[in-house]
Structure 1
């Protein structure tokens, strides 16, 4: 009987002392946990060390994609599970991952996981927030791209295989903090697109904003998520408005300059 594949759980964090314990407990069965800290001012590093994680630190922020690359470079496992501090592996998902680890290594397969996203006290079932599949389990020769935000795994022609079980994602626990993060993502998105040569016209701001609202509420059946579905449609529209308005402002300033 062959030995199970070794699994490295890889995380990038900053000031996650409140969320980290439950997250680490949900993956305590992994062969190793690699945690790359980006200048935490709280007890994140101490908590991680107490839970047996291998803790590394950097004071430089390269963007989400490159930070994940740097963290993964520290891993020694044949398989990588990339998660965040506000995520928890359910027992069902643990079982599914264990089955993958007990099988021979498949070099050309990566695995997607369904996330259940929390929004204002409710785990959403529609609105484009479930199953919200993300590719997080993969052989170590794959890695994330270098995008500042909305980074993704560069898996080439690999076959994507869905796993059973969910990854709980505590997306929006505090609405004000959630909105601040959304604005930071929007700004980073706009700056990256601007430097890549993308431009935005004035009226496209409103067409994209309206489109985001309709897509969330109607096309993705957000209305079935009750009050939270309506509110999320507004939040997605606001996020889209911020993205394209920031891109328009950068484009407008460039023309004047």
Structure 2
């Protein structure tokens, strides 16, 4: 059987595995209600208080706000789906079904990352459209939207791969979630506030700082650029995936 055929079969199995458990549906439903609710509330506020809308603001400014919530929700989903079969012991039949571990790594990383990215971006777009529908005066410029969504795709996609890699490396949902939140939220803020010159440089190299810069345009250093932020996010995603892949390929599934 060719590698392409095995990869396609493993990809279908990973897709089915995501949606065959109730927790995935519950998390996606809660995340949808939360993010779309933020869009509706922001739209109602803008419609009822037009003076509170800054000059030149558009509905895509709301998209950038909801993107942070989408990031953490999709990372949680990525971690949960990448560690679920280790937690239940189902990794054994998973490897019996796909004994080529490199194929399993490619299928799991690709399918899970693509799925959660599409969910996150779709919810951000939905919240943005809801805001605009309730307050059409804020506008929905296409150019601004493409730029915003491009950055959001990088942030959510890289965050998903980071969560998947940490999940495969730790084989623990709790540990991977703690590490993901630390890298994306806690450590960037903590290190940036240390009274040392090197602290801002270290903070700017963490994925959370790059995510904040791509979404809001602000970071711990004034010399941060979109290109460097995207490169930092991609490097952390690749490093975490490599680490998780190394453990999947080299370590016994039961340990």
TM-score (norm 2): 0.27
> Which structure dedicates a bigger proportion of its chain to helix?
2
Q: Which has the higher contact order (CA 8 A, sep 6+)?
A: 2
TM-score (norm 1): 0.27
